[in-house]
């Protein structure tokens, strides 16, 4: 019935959108908006702006779900190449804010490292799509170089959090491409042994200090430790069933910093409690599962690798953020996906889901039409 009311082109376009994933995403978005409303002290304007972000994201889902893996694959090299050039430009003529040079000014400030979150897995997936699988050692080395170049450029800005996310999104492709378990085991072992050696013998005192605060934020209660301390109190005081929506003391009395952005998970935990957290994690798990499912139904190798990598990256954002806010992991500036306030984050994540949907194998009807 709806089909008859809409133009045929749009109907066909909507068929590319995965209804199941969209439904669960919508649930998460709804929950996120409610939490944001509370975290921003009933700031309706802010919630409205976030709704605009989601609307743009929805349009991008529809648009990007149309793009086939073949098309995207062709864009990979360009996007990656432009991205690297922009990153170099950032280092040369970038805009500096709060001691970090991450932006380029082109009428407005843009952050090229955001592009790389997508461009790197695309590039690595592109590289492996032309190579025999499982990848040979030399291909893995080349893929690593493709990952490490932008990662180091971003690290130099400095932006440790983003460089980490860029690197992992590339690593996930290498993993999914079939890098041998032995190599993976060896790499893990190497990092496990090298890090302490590096820490004890290869670092200056001040560098060690910085690592220590990163790993144990509560040793610095007046700096980052304050955030963690407050968010642990917020989550812990929420208890099993929470203090109720709009009734979190920690959040509403301004104790919790960054509460509508990176630390919104603490507001959610304080107000909805452990029960709420189970529901939230359930939603995330379902979204990740659906993403991986769609990836495994990918059109080709490129589609599978890219879709899989983006889905795992989504999990990784979630893990880093909740781990940080609950005091398990070091503090890195990563928002809680699709819940934290922020245009860039929301729009790029929605776009990502559009890409994941687009990677799915085309049905015959559609193939015939094209």
Partner 1 sequence: MSDRPIKLERDEQHMFNVRVVVAGIIILFALLAILGRVYQLQVSQHEKYAELSRQHYQKRIPIPPNRGQIYDRNGVLLADSHTQYVLEVVRDNIGDENGDGKSSLADVDGLLDRLGKIIPLIDKDVRLFKTQVRRFKYQPIPIRGDLTEEEVATFAVNRPRFPGVTMEVRMERYYPLMETASHVIGYVGRIDARDLERVNKDEYIGTTHIGKSGIEAFHEARLHGKAGYHEIEVDAHGKKQSVLSEQEPIGGEELFLGLDINLQITAEQSLKGERGAIVAMDPTNGEVLALASVPTFDPNLFINGITQKDYTTLREDPSRPLFNRALQGTYPPGSTIKPMVGVAGLAEGVVTPGSRVYDPGFFRLSGQKHVFRCWNKRGHGSVDLKYSIQQSCDTYFYDLAYRMGVDRFSGFMRRFGFGDKTGIDLPGEASGLMPSKEWKEKRHKRSWFPGDTVNIGIGQGYWLATPLQLAHAVSIMANRGVRLKPHVLRGVRTARNEEESVLKPEPFPSIDTQDRFWNLTIQGMENVMRPGGTAKAAGAGAAYRIAGKTGTAQVFGLAGGKYNAGRIAKRLRDHALFVGFAPADDPKIAVAVIVENSSGSGGHTAAPIGRKVMDAYLLKQYGDHALKPEGAVAQQEAEQAAAAAVAADKKPEAAAEKTKQTKGKKARKGHD
Token readout for 9 is 């082109």
- Least distance (Å) between residue 314 CB and partner 1: 10
Q: Nearer to partner 1 by C-beta: 113 or 277?
A: 277
Q: Which run of H or of E encompasses 107?
A: none
Token readout for 331 is 């503090």
> Does 250 sit near partner 1 (CB under 8 A)?
yes
CA–CA dist 243, 249 (Å, integer): 8
CA 318 to chain centre: 7
Q: Nearer to partner 1 by C-beta: 223 or 239?
A: 239
Q: Which of 308, 337, 342, 358 binds partner 1 (CB under 8 A)?
A: 308
Q: Is the dihedral of CA 316, 264, 62, 283 positive or negative?
A: positive
Q: Nearer to partner 1 by C-beta: 158 or 282?
A: 282
> Does 317 sit near partner 1 (CB under 8 A)?
no
Q: Which stretch binds partner 1 (CB under 8 A): 32-40, 53-61, 136-144, 271-279?
A: 271-279
In this structure, are residues 266 and 235 in contact, taking their beta carbons and an 8 Å threshold? yes
125 to 144, contacts with partner 1 by CB under 8 A?
129-130, 133-134
- Least distance (Å) between residue 355 CB and partner 1: 17
The percent of the chain in helix, strand and coil, each rounded to the nearest 5, is: 75, 5, 25
Give whole-number Cα distances, 341 to 32, 116, 179, 304, in Å: 9, 21, 37, 30
Q: Which of 32, 150, 217, 269 binds partner 1 (CB under 8 A)?
A: 269
> Does 245 sit near partner 1 (CB under 8 A)?
no
- Least distance (Å) between residue 358 CB and partner 1: 17
Q: Which stretch binds partner 1 (CB under 8 A): 148-156, 190-198, 247-255, 334-342?
A: 247-255
Q: Is the dihedral of CA 143, 144, 145, 151 positive or negative?
A: positive
Q: Nearer to partner 1 by C-beta: 63 or 245?
A: 245
In this structure, are residues 177 and 135 in contact, taking their beta carbons and an 8 Å threshold? yes
- Nearest-5° angle of CA 355, CA 357, CA 358? 60
Instruction: List the x/- string, 78-117, binding to partner 1 by CB under 8 A.
Output: ----------------------------------------
- Least distance (Å) between residue 155 CB and partner 1: 24
Q: Nearer to partner 1 by C-beta: 103 or 317?
A: 317
| Residue 307 burial (CB count, 10 A) | 31
| Nearest CA-CA partner of 61 in 100, 9, 24, 18 | 18
| 3 state DSSP class of 128 | helix
| 82: preceding bond cis by omega (within 30 degrees) | no
Q: Nearer to partner 1 by C-beta: 202 or 244?
A: 244
Token readout for 90 is 């950032």
Instruction: List the x/- string, 276-305, binding to partner 1 by CB under 8 A.
Output: -xx--x--xx--xx--x--xx---xxx-xx
- The torsion angles phi and psi of 298, rounded to 5 degrees, stand at -65, 155
Instruction: List the x/- string, 201-240, binding to partner 1 by CB under 8 A.
Output: -------------------------------xxxxxxxxx
| Nearest CA-CA partner of 264 in 39, 98, 95 | 39
Instruction: List the x/- string, 145-184, binding to partner 1 by CB under 8 A.
Output: ---------------------------x--xx-x------
Residues near partner 1, by CB under 8 A: 129-130, 133-134, 172, 175-176, 178, 232-240, 249-250, 253-255, 269, 273-274, 277-278, 281, 284-285, 288-289, 292, 295-296, 300-302, 304-305, 308, 312, 315, 318-319, 322-323, 326-328
């Amino acid at each position: 019935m709806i089909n008859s009311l809409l133009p045929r082109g749009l109907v066909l376009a909507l068929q590319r959108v995965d209804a199941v994933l969209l439904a669960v995403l919508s649930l998460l978005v709804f929950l996120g908006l409610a939490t944001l409303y509370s975290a921003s002290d009933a700031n309706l304007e802010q919630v409205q702006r976030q709704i605009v972000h989601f609307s743009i994201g929805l349009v991008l889902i529809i648009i990007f779900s149309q793009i086939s893996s073949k098309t995207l694959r062709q864009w990979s090299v360009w996007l990656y190449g432009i991205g690297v050039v922009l990153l170099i430009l950032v280092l040369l003529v970038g805009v500096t804010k709060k001691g970090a040079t991450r932006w380029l000014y082109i009428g407005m400030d843009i952050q090229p490292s955001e592009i790389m979150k997508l461009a790197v897995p695309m590039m690595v997936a592109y590289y492996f799509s032309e190579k025999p699988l499982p990848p040979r050692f030399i291909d893995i080395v080349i893929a690593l170089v493709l990952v490490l170049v932008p990662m180091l450029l971003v690290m130099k800005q400095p932006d440790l959090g983003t460089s980490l996310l860029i690197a992992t999104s590339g690593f996930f492709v290498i993993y999914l491409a079939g890098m041998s378990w032995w190599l993976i085991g060896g790499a893990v072992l190497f990092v496990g042994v090298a890090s302490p050696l590096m820490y004890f013998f290869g670092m200056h005192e001040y560098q060690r200090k910085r690592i220590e605060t990163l790993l144990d934020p509560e040793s610095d209660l007046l700096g980052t430790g304050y955030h963690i301390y407050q968010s642990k109190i917020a989550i812990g005081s929420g208890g099993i069933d929470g203090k109720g929506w709009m009734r979190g003391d920690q959040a509403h009395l301004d104790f919790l910093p960054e509460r509508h952005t990176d630390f919104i998970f603490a507001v959610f935990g304080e107000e909805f409690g452990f029960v709420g957290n189970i529901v939230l994690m359930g939603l995330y798990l379902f979204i990740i599962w659906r993403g991986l499912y769609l990836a495994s139904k990918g059109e080709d190798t490129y589609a599978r690798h890219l879709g899989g990598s983006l889905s795992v990256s989504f999990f990784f954002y979630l893990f880093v953020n909740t781990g940080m806010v609950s005091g398990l992991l070091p503090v890195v500036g990563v928002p809680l996906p699709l819940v934290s306030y922020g245009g860039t984050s929301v729009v790029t994540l929605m776009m990502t889901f559009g890409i994941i949907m687009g990677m799915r194998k085309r049905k015959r009807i559609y193939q015939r039409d094209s």
